[in-house]
Structure 1
Amino acid sequence: MNRSDVLIIGAGPTGLVLALWLSKFGVQVRIIDKTAAPGTTSRALAVQARTLELYRQLDLAETIVRNGHQVAAANFWVNGKPVAQLPLNRIGEGLTPYSFVEIFPQDQHEQLLIERLEDYGVRVERETTLESFEETSDGVTAHLRLPDGEQEICQACYLAGADGARSVVRKNLDAGFPGGTYQQIFYVADVQASGPALNGELHLDLDEADFLAVFPLAGKGRARLIGTVRDERAERAETLEFSDVSSRAIEHLKVHIEDVHWFSTYRVHHRVAEHFRGGRAFLLGDAAHVHSPAGGQGMNTGIGDAINLAWKLAAVLSGGAEAKLLDSYEIERIAFARRLVSTTDKVFSFVTAEGRMADLLRTRLAPFLIPRMASFEASREFLFRTVSQVTLNYRGMPLSQGTAGHVHGGDRLPWAHDGEGDNYEPLRQPCWQVHVYGDTSDEMLAWCLEHHLPLHVFDWRPAFETAGLARNGFYLLRPDTYVAIADSSADPKVIERYFKDHGIRPFLPCP
């Protein structure tokens, strides 16, 4: 019987990233997808800074930055004129190595992930569907339908459902998916066009007309239009063509369409699964949570799910942790998903709300406030921190402990950079490690050496203080670069107790 360590259902970005990280850790994976080929009509565009930080661990970040497009500004239009601009170039200066807004379309993104996965000898099994599965004493037995119509029974230690909003895995787990559906029909079009809105920046129409955003793509005159369709047209979404969408918003942005490469319509839901886990089966990505496209969070959140789950599965499968470590996946990720759905729902409802008051807020108040907000560094930084996901943290959760400086257990390690170096360089290795900024004790040096735990001691510099790091304390970092322990002492017994309490034995070589 065909057996793997982890069977992954769904080969979108979430499933592919999970397969990549597990493969890097030496885990035997199998990944299936019901489609015949990778998607070509994708909606996700933004690769957020936090995702790029984590992609350094697979040498993906620089490839994406090199082949994608950095957006210099967001422009807001009313009555056919640009009325406000929010500069985005280097908006996250000093917070991350990727202090910009990066556009890299999902179809290209998926192809890159597929190619990297094939480097590990893993290929997506296409036109293969999961029909059902059941848990056994030592794993999961899954029933698959193969491309030729034959059924295959296979086994895995764990099963991961990254199979989208209509997830078979979620239905098999009988996990509720509460939430709702927006009344608007969305459309997405990849176009060749000209006009002032095709200048490589982001443009949004705030008028009473249908919502429309113009996202720049790499290449002269290439853009992706994402808009809404209201009124009676929404009742025939399946038969809509590009000629049916409102020309009013497109004309307001002075977009002159020269060619439409593809066009698609879809509905958007805002839902979070009641549970992200059932025994040996896990939900991640759209199978676990779906929300509006506001802020470009969906794909990035699914990738975050995958990385969170990957190192924990790898630790358990390799004997580096007890199975109870897997309990932390749902705790950490479901809390963020619920907050995200609530936030994006409020933003999207404001942008697309109908009625005189909503129109006044968008067309009069927003153009007045946006430039003033953009003029304050604190406002720009808050916006970037929120959208880029660098503020995502697991404070107060089971794997997070202590405080040192301004950093809490569960935080993303702050980035500190000056002419002398970058404290993120050691994070390219996805393993447990200890960071010290300043001096540490002989006991800490000896204990880490004895237990083969990488210890990085940085000479104290002003950049570390600016980043909020504590002098002479220590930070124990998880393989996903979040802080497990923040402690102002130099006592290795704190680390020893942590590992014992959580059933973790992290003393394995970095992959």
Structure 2
Amino acid sequence: MMRTDVLIIGAGPTGLVLALWLTKLGVKIHIVDKTSEPGTTSRAVAVQARTLELYQQLDLTDALLDGGHKVPAVNLWVKGEKAARVGFETVGSDLTPYPFLNIFPQDKHERLLIDRLERLGVTVARSTELTRFTDEGGRVTARLRGPDGTETDWEAAYIAGCDGARSLVRETLGTGFPGGTYRQVFYVADVEATGPAFNGELHIDLDEADFLGIFPMAGEGRARLIGTVRDERAEHPESLKFEDVSDRAIQHLKVNVKTVHWFSTYRVHHRVSEHFRHGRAFLLGDAAHIHSPAGGQGMNTGIGDAINLAWKLAAVLTEQAPEALLDSYEAERIGFARRLVATTDRVFTFATADGPIANVVRTRIAPLVVPVLARFDASRDFIFRTVSQIMLNYRGCPLSVGTAGQVHGGDRLPWVGSDTNNFASLSQMRWQVHVYGEASPALTTWCTEHDLPLHVFAWQPDFESSGLAKNALYLLRPDTYIAFADTSGTPESLDQYFRSRGLRISSR
């Protein structure tokens, strides 16, 4: 019997990020995928700001930016003409170092993650699939079938199901996967083309009861078309070609297609598993939640799952935390997944609703209202925070305690600007303390004695507008979310936080 700490089933972005995080923290992993090679099609393309922030810990952010395409604006089209433009450069510039949508196709994304993993001495076991597993209480035993048909038994402390919408891990657990299937058939096409919509920006056509968007990609004239198929053509999507569905893009958005590099059709579900954890088994990514492509959230949410779970598994396996810490994975991620599915469902329903009233709202009201809303800071920030996932927080969860200023335990740490760059220390995969103002000598001594990094930033008036409180203590988790916010800034409160949860500070 082969042995590992964590057995990861599925080597898409979710499984690869989980493997990278755990490996960097010294956890032994074995990752398998039933495909013979990494994906060769672009599939998910959007990398949101929060993912770029979190990727600093894996030293991946610059690579995604260098190889990707920054989308500066979104344009709304009606009746073959551009009706509105909302620039991202005015949205989020004071909220994150990455106030834009970054387009980096999934096939390139996976190759980058695989390369980084191989540099650490870990290789994905290809053409290998899970046939069954059993949670025996103190361990997991699993059977894997290799490329030659040989079956091997594995023992692991935990198993992570990153094996997609048809997850065998989820099916074995027997947890429900409630939701439904959209009636529309989607098509995707990666093309080289010319036209006014091929200017490096995002374009969405609001004319009909279908979704149609053009997502720019790196390279002149390169873009991803995403649309829905209507009428009788949707009955047999497997027989469709790009020519069968391209009329609307050509006519409404004035697209002149030169080359089609990839075309595919598929149906989309909107579902969330009833549980993300059962005993020693966990569900992540599409195995736990699937939803419409509206907003480009799917891959980013799976990556967020992986980072949330990774540091907790590492802490438990290295005896820095009790097993109860793992309960917080489902508590923190399942609520977000449910809200996300509900939100993307509403957006997609709006974009595809049929009937005269829906058409008027899309074609006449939306192009007028959206630019007006974008002029107001509050609405602009809300839209960006939601789409970029920087609004995601774990308030009210067991690990989240306290409030200091407008910042609560469970929040993402506010970014205070490039001049101060309070995100620089977040590349460390460990607990740390931030103080904006002055740290007391007692706190400084306590952090030194416990090998807990303390970062002190000289107070600036702008910090208050970011929600931070002067001289307050902000304890950051290894995944950079705030665990504890305390205005007193005393080491006693910090000590109590760790002791009450059975947590020890790792110097890894």
TM-score range, shorter chain: over 0.9
Find the residue that maps to 1:422 and give its secondary structure. coil
In 1, Cα distance between the equivalents of 2:13 and 2:250?
30
| Equivalent residues in 2 for 1:338-357, closer than 5 Å | 338-357=338-357
Q: Structure 1: 5+ residue runs without aligned partners?
A: none
Find the residue that maps to 1:23 and give its secondary structure. helix
**Counterpart AA for 1:442:** P
Q: How far did 1:361 drift?
A: 1.0
| Equivalent residues in 2 for 1:3-42, closer than 5 Å | 3-42=3-42
Q: Which residue in the other structure is 1:439 paired with?
A: 438
**Counterpart AA for 1:87:** G
| Aligned alpha-carbon RMSD (Å) | 1.1
**Counterpart AA for 1:164:** G
Q: Deviations over 1:4-23 (max 9, x none)?
A: 11000001000000000001
**Counterpart AA for 1:304:** G
Q: Which residue in the other structure is 1:188 paired with?
A: 188
Q: Deviations over 1:251-285 (max 9, x none)?
A: 21000111100101111100000000110000000
In 1, Cα distance between the equivalents of 2:242 and 2:118?
37
Contact 1:178 1:271 in 2 (8 A): yes
Q: Deviations over 1:83-122 (max 9, x none)?
A: 1111112521111111111111111111111101111111
Q: Which residue in the other structure is 2:242 paired with?
A: 242
In 1, Cα distance between the equivalents of 2:239 and 2:279?
42
Contact 1:210 1:246 in 2 (8 A): no
Contact 1:89 1:101 in 2 (8 A): no
Q: Which residue in the other structure is 1:496 paired with?
A: 495
In 2, Cα distance between the equivalents of 1:411 and 1:292?
26
In 2, Cα distance between the equivalents of 1:304 and 1:30?
20
| Equivalent residues in 2 for 1:145-184, closer than 5 Å | 145-184=145-184
Q: Which residue in the other structure is 2:115 paired with?
A: 115
Contact 2:51 2:303 in 1 (8 A): yes
| Equivalent residues in 2 for 1:272-291, closer than 5 Å | 272-291=272-291
Q: Which residue in the other structure is 2:224 paired with?
A: 224
Q: How far did 1:417 drift?
A: 2.1
Q: Structure 2: 5+ residue runs without aligned partners?
A: none
Q: How far did 1:333 drift?
A: 0.2
| Equivalent residues in 2 for 1:251-270, closer than 5 Å | 251-270=251-270
Contact 1:212 1:250 in 2 (8 A): no
Q: How far did 1:211 drift?
A: 2.2
Contact 1:277 1:330 in 2 (8 A): yes
Find the residue that maps to 1:415 and give its secondary structure. coil
In 2, Cα distance between the equivalents of 1:490 and 1:67?
42
Q: How far did 1:445 drift?
A: 1.3
Q: How far did 1:235 drift?
A: 1.1
Contact 1:417 1:463 in 2 (8 A): no
Q: Which residue in the other structure is 2:46 paired with?
A: 46
TM-score scaled by length of structure 2:
0.98
In 2, Cα distance between the equivalents of 1:16 and 1:168?
18
Q: Which residue in the other structure is 2:507 paired with?
A: 509
In 2, Cα distance between the equivalents of 1:196 and 1:184?
27
| Equivalent residues in 2 for 1:326-345, closer than 5 Å | 326-345=326-345
Q: Deviations over 1:304-341 (max 9, x none)?
A: 00000000000001111011000000000001000101
In 2, Cα distance between the equivalents of 1:166 and 1:137?
25
Q: How far did 1:501 drift?
A: 1.5
Q: How far did 1:209 drift?
A: 5.9
In 2, Cα distance between the equivalents of 1:21 and 1:31?
13
**Counterpart AA for 2:383:** L
Q: Deviations over 1:144-188 (max 9, x none)?
A: 111001111111110000000000000000010000000000010
Contact 2:198 2:221 in 1 (8 A): yes
Find the residue that maps to 2:70 and give its secondary structure. strand
Q: Bigger shift: 314-323 or 249-258?
A: 249-258
**Counterpart AA for 2:454:** L
Q: Deviations over 1:442-500 (max 9, x none)?
A: 22111111111111122112232221111111001000111110000021111111111
List structure 1 segments (4+ residues) > 3 angstroms apart after TM superposition.
none
**Counterpart AA for 2:244:** D
Q: Which residue in the other structure is 2:484 paired with?
A: 485
Q: Which residue in the other structure is 1:429 paired with?
A: 428
TM-score scaled by length of structure 1:
0.98
In 2, Cα distance between the equivalents of 1:374 and 1:85?
10
Q: Which residue in the other structure is 2:98 paired with?
A: 98
In 1, Cα distance between the equivalents of 2:90 and 2:33?
38
Q: Bigger shift: 351-360 or 123-132?
A: 351-360
Contact 1:71 1:89 in 2 (8 A): no
Q: How far did 1:142 drift?
A: 0.4
Find the residue that maps to 2:89 and give its secondary structure. coil
2:314 equivalent to 1:314: yes
Q: Which residue in the other structure is 2:452 paired with?
A: 453
Q: Which residue in the other structure is 2:67 paired with?
A: 67
Q: Which residue in the other structure is 1:470 paired with?
A: 469
How many pairs are equivalent?
Answer: 508
Tell me: CA distance 1:217–1:418, structure 2 relative to 1, closer, same or farther (3 Å): closer
In 2, Cα distance between the equivalents of 1:186 and 1:89?
30
Contact 1:211 1:249 in 2 (8 A): no
Find the residue that maps to 2:175 and give its secondary structure. coil
Q: Bigger shift: 347-356 or 164-173?
A: 347-356
In 1, Cα distance between the equivalents of 2:74 and 2:498?
46
Q: Which residue in the other structure is 2:378 paired with?
A: 378
Find the residue that maps to 2:475 and give its secondary structure. strand
**Counterpart AA for 1:165:** A
Find the residue that maps to 1:214 and give its secondary structure. strand
Q: How far did 1:246 drift?
A: 4.6
Q: How far did 1:438 drift?
A: 1.2
In 1, Cα distance between the equivalents of 2:479 and 2:462?
23
